[in-house]
C-alpha cells in the first residue's frame, strides 16, 4: 500500500483536504492531472476507493469540501518541520508558524495495564 496522507484545513470547519499521493501516483504510473480527472468524473472508481472510505466521500460531498491532490510523499519518519515545508510548497497565504498540525489515532486502552502503570504495580495509592 502506498503512503497516502491527508491534511485537513480546519478553521472551525473543514474547508480543504490536501492529499499527498506521490507514492500512489508512482506505483500506478499515473500523472496528478489524471488522478484529479478521475476524482472529478468517477468517484466510484477503484483508484478513488483506494484513497477514500465511502463514508469519507459522503462527508466530502455533503459539506462541499475541496480536495487538493499533491504530487509529493510524506514518509513515516518525516519530521513535523518537513511535513510543514512540503505543505507550504503547495498552499498560499500561510507561513510556517501559522501551521498547527495534529493527528488522530485509534487504539484500545487496557484498563488493567493502565491501572498498573498509574499505581506503579500497586506500590502507589491511586487517588481520585
User: Using a CB cutoff of 8 Å and minimum separation of 24, what contacts does 95-102 make?
Assistant: 101/7
Average pLDDT, the chain: 90
The predicted structure's pLDDT at residue 67: 95
Q: How many residues does the chain have?
A: 128
What's the pLDDT tens digit per position in 80-116?
999 999 999 988 888 999 888 888 787 888 999 888 9
Q: What percent of the chain has pLDDT over 70?
A: 98
Specify the 3-state DSSP secondary structure of 78.
Answer: coil
Query: Above 70 in pLDDT, residue 11?
Result: yes
Distance between alpha carbon 92 and the CA centroid of its chain, in Å? 19
Amino acid at each position: 500500500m502506498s503512503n497516502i496522507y491527508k491534511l485537513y484545513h480546519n478553521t472551525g470547519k473543514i474547508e480543504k483536504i490536501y492529499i499527498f499521493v506521490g507514492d500512489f501516483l508512482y506505483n500506478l504510473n499515473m500523472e496528478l492531472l489524471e488522478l484529479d480527472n478521475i476524482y472529478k468524473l468517477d468517484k466510484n472508481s477503484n483508484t478513488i476507493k483506494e484513497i477514500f472510505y465511502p463514508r469519507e466521500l459522503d462527508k466530502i460531498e455533503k459539506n462541499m469540501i475541496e480536495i487538493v491532490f499533491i504530487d509529493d510523499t510524506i514518509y513515516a519518519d518525516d519530521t513535523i518541520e518537513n511535513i510543514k515545508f512540503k505543505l507550504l510548497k503547495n498552499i498560499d497565504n500561510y507561513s510556517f508558524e501559522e501551521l498547527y498540525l495534529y493527528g488522530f489515532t485509534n487504539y484500545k486502552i487496557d484498563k488493567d495495564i493502565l491501572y498498573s502503570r498509574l499505581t506503579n504495580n500497586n506500590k502507589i495509592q491511586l487517588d481520585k
